[in-house]
Amino acid sequence: MKKVLLAGAALSLVMSSSALADITIATAGPMTGQYASFGQQMKAGAEQAVADINAAGGVNGEMLKLEVGDDACDPKQAVAVANQFAGEGVVFVAGHFCSGSSIPASAVYADEGIIQITPASTNPKFTDERPGDGVFRVCGRDDQQGDVAGKYLVDNFGDKKVAFVHDKTAYGKGLADATMAAYEAAGGEPAMYEAYTAGEKDYSALVSKLKSEGVGVLYVGGYHTEAGLMARQAKEQGMDLQIVSGDALVTDEYWAITGDAGEGTLMTFSPDPRGYETAAKVVEKLEADGKPTEGYVLYTYAAIQAWADAVKAAGSTDFDAVVSALNEGEFSTVLGDLSFDDKGDVSLPGYVFYEWSDGKYTQIN
């Protein structure tokens, strides 16, 4: 039976009379660039987790020190950040965001004996092909997300032509492929399957092709910036195009890009933890400070909670001891009680659908 490690109780441990030394941990993601809103979500969650843990006495009497790395969702930059963390004595990383960054960075962390728990990287390869035992995630997987989305498309849009596009990234292509496979398995026949180039500003040619093919639903395997432009440019061409996508649309920036063109956009994401009783106090603190609570804020917070409680269970930051604690424990976090399977995947509930309306996204199932 897995040992239950209660975060609230663990954080109340009496601090030793003299702190030993700071424990350096880190978070890494796109702090700059077109996906910087997600990096800011991670940073806010990590900073709040560290502040709360330190205020409660730290970890085994030691204070946490947070480093923040900017990989801009670029694989090479992610590896450079990972190597920099290793040189700084980082023992744990809550990151990265993009799967295309997390996967190559994980090889560095495995070599250096650094534990990695991503709050956001959903590509199955991240854990299916993990380079070491210290690689985990507190988010779901694209094959889980794709299964939910593919069946939903068949059940709800059986009378419309559905097209699938992706941005060629590990995340975007992986998600589009998983969703299309589930769609086909449920009896759907894709009208189109194409790649697009991320970072462009004009997708009118793609929209024109969708229009000429009579496509009514567009599944976008990619990020909010490009999906938002497609939604807006489709409306400009007079199309009544239903946009459906994944968890990379969980940022207010999506609506800032689309405006009213984003009305009715559908996306998959895990159940929103902001309404959980376990997250109430943290959400209240973040909101009082004017910090974000959306998207991956609480997932980053939870990653640090789980690691911190594993360190307490292990009695040290020793890599093997903490990995064993992560494998064997159940952790009480802002996301609820969670544990990890043999691959490092999390036990949390899977995916549900959300709808964008009037500048907000709301769970619909």
Q: Does residue 18 surpass a pLDDT of 50?
A: no
Residue 210: pLDDT over 60: yes
What average pLDDT does range 299-308 have in this prediction?
98
- When the pLDDT of each residue in the chain is averaged and rounded to a whole number, the result is 94
Q: What is the pLDDT of residue 252?
A: 95
Give CATH 3.40.50.2300 domain extents, the chain. 3-140+273-338, 143-269
Contact assessment for residue 235 and residue 261, using Cβ atoms and an 8 Å cutoff? yes
pLDDT band for position 5 (50/70/90)? Answer: very low
Q: What is the CATH number of domain 3-140+273-338?
A: 3.40.50.2300
* pLDDT of residue 98 exceeding 50: yes
Q: Does the pLDDT at position 310 exceed 60?
A: yes
- Rounded to an integer, the average pLDDT of 262-289 is 96
Q: How big is the chain, counted in residues? A: 365
- Residue 350 is predicted with a pLDDT of 87
Determine whether 254 is exposed, middle or buried from the number of CB atoms within 10 Å of its CB (0-12, 13-18, 19+).
buried
Position 1 confidence tier, pLDDT thresholds 50, 70, 90: very low
pLDDT value, residue 245: 98
Residue 7: the pLDDT is 40
Which residue type, as a one-letter code, is found at position 109?
Answer: Y
Q: What is the pTM (predicted TM-score) of this model?
A: 0.90
> What whole-number distance in Å separates Cα of residue 285 and Cα of residue 358?
26
pLDDT at 2: 41
- For residue 16, the model assigns a pLDDT of 31
Give the pLDDT score at 4. Answer: 41
Exposed, middle or buried by CB within 10 Å (0-12, 13-18, 19+), for 232? Answer: middle
Q: C-alpha distances in angstroms, 284 versus 9, 291, 306?
A: 20, 10, 21
Q: What is the DSSP string of 98-141?
A: SHHHHHHHHHHHHHHT-EEEESS---THHHHT-SSTTEEESS--
The CATH class that applies to domain 143-269 reads alpha beta
Residues of the chain with pLDDT > 70, as a percent, come to 95
Per-residue pLDDT tens digits for 162-192: 999 999 999 999 999 999 999 999 999 999 9
pLDDT at site 365: 84
Q: Please tell me the predicted confidence (pLDDT) of residue 112.
A: 98
